[in-house]
Copies of this chain bind each other. A is one copy, B any other.
Amino acid sequence: MNNAWRGFKGSQWQNGIDVQEFIKDNYTEYVGDDSFLEGPTEATNELWQEIVELKKQEIANGGVLDADTSVISTITSHPAGYINKDLEKIVGLQTEKPLKRGLNVYGGIRMAETALKSYGYELDPELDEFFTEHRKTHNQGVFDAYDDDIRMARRNKIVTGLPDAYGRGRIIPDFRRIALYGVDYLKKQKLNDWNALQAKTYTEEDIRLREEVSTQYRALGKLIELGKIYGFDISRPAANAQEAVQWVYLGFLAMVKEDNGAAQGLGRIAEFLDIYIERDLQEGTLTEKEAQELIDHLVMKVRIVRQLRTPEYEALFAGDPTWATLTFAGMLDDNNSLVTKNTFRFLQTLYNMGNAPEPNMTLMWNEKLPKGFKDFCAKVSIDTSAIQYENDDVMRHYYGSNDVSIACCVSPTAGDTGSSIQFFGARASLPKILTYAVTGGYDEKNRSKVIDGLEPITDEYLDYDTLMEKIDAVMDWVATTYVRALNIIHYMHDKYAYEAVQFGLLDTKLHRMMATGIAGIGLATDSMSAVKYAKVRVVRDEEGFPIDYVVEGDQFPTFGNNEKAADEIADMLIKKFVGKLKAQPTYRNAEITTSILTITSNIVYGKATGALFSGQDAKYKGYREAFTPLSPGANPSYSSPYKGALAALKSVSTIDFEDVKDGSSYTWAVHPKALGKERDVQIENLTMLLDGYFGKDGGHHLNVNVFSKEGLEEMLRNPENYPQATIRVSGYALELSKATKEQISDLLERVIHGSF
């Protein structure tokens, strides 16, 4: 390892796997501005043009360019594939050609079959038979254990988006380990761990863990094989920047080949890779142009990852996202930021190759970040709307680490990258908990009895205390049913679709979080506020079934206006439900965490949710038409904020991170003119706004979109003119050209703040 580690400082990271210590010992903070950045090379332009052409063909082809039907995707299932071998500095494709989708079936053979069929392909009948007869998949396992209540909760969309038919994702392997240590060393460490697990008696957990580590060890062997397929020896550490980027990418490639996971994060690689680039720059073996090209080519590869999914999946998670979430920046400690030149380079890819939804750019914001970097971020946000921001101080405070990575949308690892995973748990609907409290557990859409043993409210006017009692009972049912489903899901996923190479790149002793979620906090808050501060009359049909709620009396406080009365209701609802979730026993003793996040499922949720207590009358703030989309994530209801952008930010930032340690996503849009007329004023204002939201207010997350409603309408009308336009939705960036009509109509509903 001597040559590979030449010039590196520190020793702790040499005595065992400790990437964060290596970064601390060796990185070079960059406090300058973006003037050093380079544009694309000719090779980058040419390669990207080929991709753009292929993407056009993909859209013309109905969304899928090509797909495997008989080769099951594994780490080593395919020969080497290239876009244009001579031009690529970083190589490796999921299949043998770009945009051709691999076939992952362990998560669910039915999902794979349906997905193929939707795009005109047929699953090899022999494979189908084999997986039906001899090899159970995750999906079958889950449904073998699901009970009636879980099925009812699922069917009626009280809980939606559960990873029970495909890969769960949300594991962020520490790809940096490959470059720093080489895979042989990682194998050796796993063998040591396996030996250290020997004991006089084994629980089932012990047996499973021993088996898992064996499986990881073999998968790491396959990872070495994948390197060989492309002509690299990744059993040894990377010796220069090109190798480091390539080694890291091969790890990522192994993940997306192994598993069709719901979210497959990149982790924190920018600052790590900077160390290799800096060394090469100083050794004179690399130029800035070449360095940028390496990062451009890596990002290009991440952009063309394609998983095979069904149209139903697309309805929940539009735009073919893979959530290759890239986490960067933040502070090392109170004095030193983790910003490097390479942090800039990753953002620069948005200029060099145009806008793109992947990697999901996730910036750890801190007031103390160097000004040059903060200004550059604001500029990129204004130009591309491609960045989401998370609160660096909150992460460091709650998870005691400056190496937290974000999985999926907003969900942090519980410490250094590589030390924890999340059992992805989708989300439960708060508004439906409210409607069920009134109906006595009957679904407002299909009228079926979902919760047994609950009596309906039969009063003409809703009484707050009576209602809260009922809500408490419904929450009990939802919390137990929900966590029960998650326990089944992750038990079966470990059993039938274990992500061996991904776990192989993590610590053996892991902190596991069970990442539950809540949808519809805005609507639920406004509804309870209406009951508390106005008067809500229940409208019933001839059978006495509640079909509408009419607000009478005064205007009531709503979430998103910095009104304490409303914000406290939000806090109460969250605490109440999260408390019940946390009381549940979990598979592998996972820690229950919760997010306020919807992705684009706010639309699906909304369509299943009838009238609510805040009414349908536009004269009241917080009104909403029955069976229309909810606002996304932690956003105030579409009809709620009326005191402007700052008040909305204030309200959202009151959400207590202690309750929602899986993150709460606020998707926010501002008219460019609201930020100022001149570009430098816009940059300054956006920077100040982020400082305020994350600093004083302690907000957790912000999706920053900068565009006008007219601009959005123009892009949506003529998408062919804006092939790479993206918009931040709850937790990721959606390519506008891939949005459905419904999603577009929802986008147009969203509040674009025209002023503060």
Partner of A144 from B210, B488, B584 at Cβ < 8 Å: B210
Q: Does A587 contact B (CB under 8 A)?
A: yes
Instruction: Digitize A131-158: 1 where CB-to-B-CB distance is under 8 Å, 0 elsewhere.
Output: 0011100000101110111000000000
The residues of B that contact A130 with a CB separation of less than 8 Å are: 130, 134-135
Question: Which residue of B134, B147, B215, B483 contacts A210 across the interface (Cβ within 8 Å)?
Answer: B147
Minimum CB distance partner of A77 in chain B: B133
Alpha-carbon distance between A175 and B488 when the two chains are bound, in angstroms: 32
Q: Does A685 contact B (CB under 8 A)?
A: no
Asked if A78 is at the interface of the complex by the 8 Å CB criterion, the answer is: no
Q: How far is the CB of A140 from chain B (nearest CB, A)?
A: 9
Count of chain A residues with a beta carbon within 8 Å of a chain B beta carbon: 39
Given that A134-B135, A144-B211, A214-B144 are contacting pairs, would A587 and B204 also be in contact in the complex, using a CB cutoff of 8 Å? yes
Q: Contact string, A190-218, partner B, CB cutoff 8 A, digits 1/0?
A: 00000101101111100110110011000
Distance A134 CA – B203 CA, assembled complex (angstroms) = 26
User: With A133-B74, A135-B135, A200-B480 in contact, do A145 and B214 touch (Cβ < 8 Å)?
Assistant: yes
Interface: A491 (CB within 8 A): yes
Q: Are A585 and B211 in contact (CB under 8 A)?
A: no
A491 and B207 contacting across the interface, CB-CB below 8 Å = yes
The chain B residue with its CB closest to the CB of A194 is B147
Query: Is A405 an interface residue when CB atoms closer than 8 A count as contact?
Result: no
Q: Which residues of B contact A145 (CB under 8 A)?
A: 202, 207, 210-211, 214
Interface bits A212-250 vs B (CB < 8 Å: 1, else 0)? 001100000000000000000000000000000000000
Asked if A198 contacts B488 (CB within 8 A), the reply is: no
A147-B211 in contact (CB<8A): no
Q: Separation in Å of the A81 CB from the closest CB of chain B?
A: 20
A208 to B491, CA, bound (A): 9
**Inter-chain contacts of A195 with B (CB < 8 A):** 148
Least CB distance from A59 to B in Å reads 33
Confirm or deny: A689 has a beta carbon within 8 angstroms of a beta carbon on chain B: no
Cβ A204 vs Cβ B135 within 8 A:
no
Check if B484 sits within 8 Å of A200, measured CB to CB: yes
Of the candidates B201, B204, B585, the one whose C-beta lies within 8 Å of that of A484 is B201
By beta carbon, the residue of chain B nearest A479 is B200
**Complex CA distance for A633 and B134, rounded to whole angstroms:** 38
B585 with A201: CB separation less than 8 A = yes
Contacts of A484 in B (CB 8 A): 200-202
A487 at the interface (CB under 8 A from B): yes
Asked if A679 is at the interface of the complex by the 8 Å CB criterion, the answer is no
> A474-497 interface mask toward B, CB cutoff 8 Å, 1 = contact, 0 = none?
000000100110011001100100
Quick check: is A626 within 8 A (CB to CB) of the other chain?
A: no
Partner pick for A487 among B143, B202, B211, B491, CB 8 A cutoff: B202
What string of 1s and 0s marks CB contacts (under 8 Å) between A46-82 and chain B?
A: 0000000000000000000000000010100000000
**Chain B: which residue is nearest A141 at the CB level?**
B211
From known contacts A135-B134, A144-B214, A148-B198, infer whether A204 and B207 are also in contact, taking CB-CB under 8 Å.
Answer: no
CB of A200 to closest CB in B, whole Å = 5
Q: Which residue of B lies closest to A490 (CB)?
A: B207
What is the CB-to-nearest-CB distance from A483 to chain B, in angstroms, rounded to a whole number?
8
Given contacts A144-B214, A144-B215, A211-B144, contact A204 B202 (CB under 8 A): no
How many angstroms between the C-alpha atoms of A484 and B207 in the bound complex? Answer: 9
A204-B587, A211-B144 given as contacts; is B198 within 8 A of A134 (CB)?
no
Q: Which residues of B sit under 8 angstroms from A200, Cβ to Cβ? A: 480, 484
Known: A134-B135, A144-B214, A207-B487. A201 touches B149 (CB 8 A): no
Cα A203 to Cα B487 with chains together (Å): 9
Inter-chain contacts of A210 with B (CB < 8 A): 144-145, 147
**How far does the alpha carbon of A483 sit from the alpha carbon of B74 in the complex, in Å?**
36
Q: B491 and A204: CB pair below 8 A?
A: yes
A residues 154-210 touching B (CB-CB < 8 Å)? 195, 197-198, 200-204, 207-208, 210
Distance in angstroms between the alpha carbons of A743 and B365 in the assembled complex: 78
Q: Contacts A130-B130, A144-B211 given: A149-B202 contact, CB under 8 Å?
A: no
The distance from the CB of A190 to the nearest CB of chain B, in whole angstroms, is: 12
Given the complex of chains A and B, what is the CA–CA distance between A202 and B147 in angstroms?
11
Chain B residues near A134 (CB-CB < 8 A): 72, 106, 130, 135
Q: How far is the CA of A708 from the CA of B446 in the complex (A)?
A: 82
Bound complex: CA of A615 vs CA of B210, how far in Å? 43
Give A477's nearest chain B residue, CB to CB.
Answer: B200
Residues of A bordering B, CB below 8 Å? 72, 74, 106, 130, 133-135, 141, 143-145, 147-149, 195, 197-198, 200-204, 207-208, 210-211, 214-215, 480, 483-484, 487-488, 491-492, 495, 584-585, 587
Top 5 A-B residue pairs of the complex, sorted by shortest distance between their CB atoms = A144-B214, A145-B210, A144-B211, A135-B135, A147-B198
With A145-B211, A149-B198, A208-B491 already in contact, 13 other A-B pairs whose C-beta atoms are closer than 8 Å? A72-B134, A143-B214, A144-B214, A145-B207, A147-B197, A148-B198, A200-B480, A200-B484, A201-B487, A202-B487, A204-B204, A204-B491, A207-B491
Contacts A/B (CB < 8 Å), 7 sampled: A74-B133, A145-B207, A200-B484, A201-B484, A204-B587, A208-B491, A211-B492
